[in-house]
Amino acid sequence: MEAMKICCIGAGYVGGPTMAMIAHKCSDIEVTVVDLNEARIAAWNSGDLPVYEPGLEEIVSQNREKNLFFSTDVDDKVREADVIFISVNTPTKDYGSGSGQAADLRFVESCARGIARAGGGDKIVVEKSTVPVRTAQMVKEILDSSNNGHSYQVISNPEFLAEGTAMTDLENPDRVLIGGDTSDAGQVAVEKVVSIYAQWVPRERIITTNLWSSELSKLTANAFLAQRISSINAISALCEASEANVDEVAKAIGTDSRIGPKFLKSSIGFGGSCFQKDVLNLCYLCRHFDLPQVAEYWEQVIRMNEYQKERFVTRLLDSMFNTVSGKRIAILGYAFKKDTNDARESPAIGICTRLLEEKANLAIYDPRVTKQSILSTLGWSEESAKGRVEFCTSAEEACQKSHAIALLTEWDEFKELDYTKIYEKMHQPAILFDGRNLLDLEELRKIGYRANGIGRV
C-alpha cells in the first residue's frame, strides 16, 4: 500500500508546528505544508524559521526533506494528497456585512475552490482553522459543486495548541477532537484521521463527534478560557480598591477542584490572534441565530479586556503626575505572551500606542519580536519612529535612564534581571507589572523577580 500523503494549506503558527509533529510521529506519512507566501516557505526551508516555538527547530530539522516538506506549489501538492488540512487564517472581517465580528472565511473558501479545481481523486478535507459552526457545509457545497467526478469528505479537527507551548501541547494533548459526517463514508473518513493521531495520542484522548459539535467546541473552548481571564481581571480591579491581593484570591479559589488553578493569572488583558476574534465570532453567530441575550453575555468578556488594558495605562499615568510627555518608558516584552515571536493583538500594541499619544518616548525590548513586527503592529514607519521609539537589544539597555518600566510580557529572562542595579541607573523610576499596582523591590522579589534592596522603585 502506498504511503499516506498529507498536504496542509497554510504554513503559519498552526500549520507549521502541527505538521512538523505529525511528520515526526508518523514516519510512514509524507507531509507537505504549502503556502502562497513565498517568503514564509523560504523561511521554513531555512535555518531561520518564521515561527519561534521552543522545540520546533529541532523537530523541523530532524524531519525536513525526509517526510516533511514546505512548498509554494499549492495545486500540485493538493492534487497528490489523500488528506488535505486547511490551516489558513480566519481573521475578524473588517469590511461589509458582519464587519468587526464575523469571521472572514474568504481564505477557507478559496482553499475549497482550489482543492476542487486541483482534482486528483477522492479526498478527505480537514478543517484545522477555527471556523464558525456549519462552515463544513459551505466547504462541502463548494467541493461537490465542482462536479469533477471525485468524492469529498469534510472533517473538523480544530487545534487547541497554545503558542509558546505548541510542541508539548501537540505531543501530549489533553484531547484531539475529530468531527465528521454521521454517514458510513463520513465515519470511514473520521477513522482515517483518527489513525494519524493514534500513532502517538492515547485512543481515549481522541474524541469523535458530529461535525457541528466539533466546530462549535473550538469557539466554546476559547470563549471559556477568555472568560476566565476577564473574570480574574475584573476581580483584580476590586482587589486594588480593597487592598485584597489578586494572587492570593486566585490561589484561594483555584484550590476548589470545581474551579481549578489554571488560567487565573490577572494580567494587562489577554492578547493573541484568537481569543478576541473567536469570542467576537461567537457573538456574531448568536445574533445570527437570533440569540441577542447570549451575544451580550459573551460581549462583556471583550469589554472587560479593553477596560483592563486602559486601566493599566491610566495607573501608569497617575503614578507619573499624569504626564509622560518626553519621559522614557522602558517596554519589557512586546509579544502577547512569553516564548513566542507573535505580536498579533498583543496588549503591548494598545499600551504603546496610548503612551505614544501621551508623547512618551519608548525604549522597547523583546527577546523574539522583530523590529519590523513592532513597527507594523504600531502602524509606524522606521522614519516616523525616529526619536520616539528606540529598539533595544537588551532589557538593561531599555531600562537605562528610563523614568518607568512597563513589564508587558512575562519572559523568564526578565525575572533574572538585577532590578536593584537597574534601579540605580534609572531616572525617576516606577515599575508596573501585569495589571498590578506599582511594585517596590520587595514586592517584585516576592513575585519571583531578582531584587534585593528594599524601597520604592
- Please identify, using beta-carbon distances, which residue of 129 and 402 lies nearer to ligand NAD: 129
- Please identify, using beta-carbon distances, which residue of 221 and 234 lies nearer to ligand NAD: 221
- Please identify, using beta-carbon distances, which residue of 261 and 292 lies nearer to ligand UGA: 261
Within 221-240, the residues that bind ligand UGA by CB under 6 A are 222, 225, 229
152, β-bridge pairs: 123
Which residue is catalytic, options 8, 26, 111, 274?
A: 274
| Nearest C-alpha neighbor of 91 from the set 351, 276, 347 | 276
In the bound complex, what is the minimum distance in angstroms from residue 93's beta carbon to ligand UGA?
Answer: 18
H or E segment to which residue 329 belongs: strand 328-332
Q: Grid coordinates in use for 425?
A: 541607573
Q: Grid coordinates in use for 282?
A: 461567537
Nearest-angstrom CA–CA distance, 19 and 2: 19
286 given a catalytic annotation: no
Asked if residue 339 binds ligand UGA (CB under 6 A), the reply is no
Asked if residue 156 binds ligand UGA (CB under 6 A), the reply is no
- Please identify, using beta-carbon distances, which residue of 32 and 266 lies nearer to ligand UGA: 266
For residue 281, CA distances in Å to 115, 130, 140, 212, 223 come to 26, 10, 21, 15, 10
Amino acid at 226: A
Among 63, 89, 157, 217, binds ligand NAD (CB under 6 A): 89
Asked if residue 264 binds ligand UGA (CB under 6 A), the reply is yes
Nearest-angstrom CA–CA distance, 241 and 264: 19
Among 107, 160, 212, 380, binds ligand UGA (CB under 6 A): 160
Asked if residue 391 binds ligand UGA (CB under 6 A), the reply is no
Asked if residue 429 binds ligand NAD (CB under 6 A), the reply is no
Among 131, 161, 194, 301, binds ligand UGA (CB under 6 A): 161
Asked if residue 51 binds ligand UGA (CB under 6 A), the reply is no
SS (H, E, C) 361-406: EEEEECCCCCHHHHHHHHCCCHHHHCCCEEECCCHHHHHCCCCEEE
Stretch that binds ligand NAD, among 106-114, 133-141, 260-268, 448-456 (CB under 6 A): 106-114
Among 22, 26, 32, 40, binds ligand NAD (CB under 6 A): 40
The residues near 197 (Cβ < 8 Å, ≥ 6 apart) are: 176, 178, 206
- Please identify, using beta-carbon distances, which residue of 110 and 168 lies nearer to ligand NAD: 110
In the bound complex, what is the minimum distance in angstroms from residue 103's beta carbon to ligand NAD?
Answer: 8
Asked if residue 281 binds ligand NAD (CB under 6 A), the reply is no
Asked if residue 272 binds ligand UGA (CB under 6 A), the reply is yes
Asked if residue 31 binds ligand NAD (CB under 6 A), the reply is no
In the bound complex, what is the minimum distance in angstroms from residue 178's beta carbon to ligand NAD?
Answer: 15
Contact between residue 164 and residue 346 where contact means Cβ atoms under 8 Å apart: no
Contact between residue 181 and residue 154 where contact means Cβ atoms under 8 Å apart: yes
DSSP 28: T
> From the CB of residue 257, how many other CB atoms can be counted at a distance below 10 Å?
7
Q: Grid coordinates in use for 17?
A: 508546528
Asked if residue 305 binds ligand NAD (CB under 6 A), the reply is no
Nearest-angstrom CA–CA distance, 381 and 324: 22
Q: Grid coordinates in use for 334?
A: 512586546
User: Can you say how many angstroms the Cα of residue 248 is from the centroid of all Cα atoms in its chain?
Assistant: 27
Give the CA angle between residues 57, 63, 69 to the nearest 5°: 95
- Please identify, using beta-carbon distances, which residue of 32 and 236 lies nearer to ligand UGA: 236
Strands 431-433, 361-365: pairing kind: unpaired
Positions marked active-site: 274
Residues near ligand NAD, by CB under 6 A: 9-15, 35-37, 40, 74, 87-90, 107, 110-111, 129-130, 159, 161, 163, 273-274
Q: Which residues would be at the binding site for ligand UGA (CB under 6 A)?
A: 130, 159-163, 222, 225, 229, 263-265, 267, 270-272, 274-275, 336-337
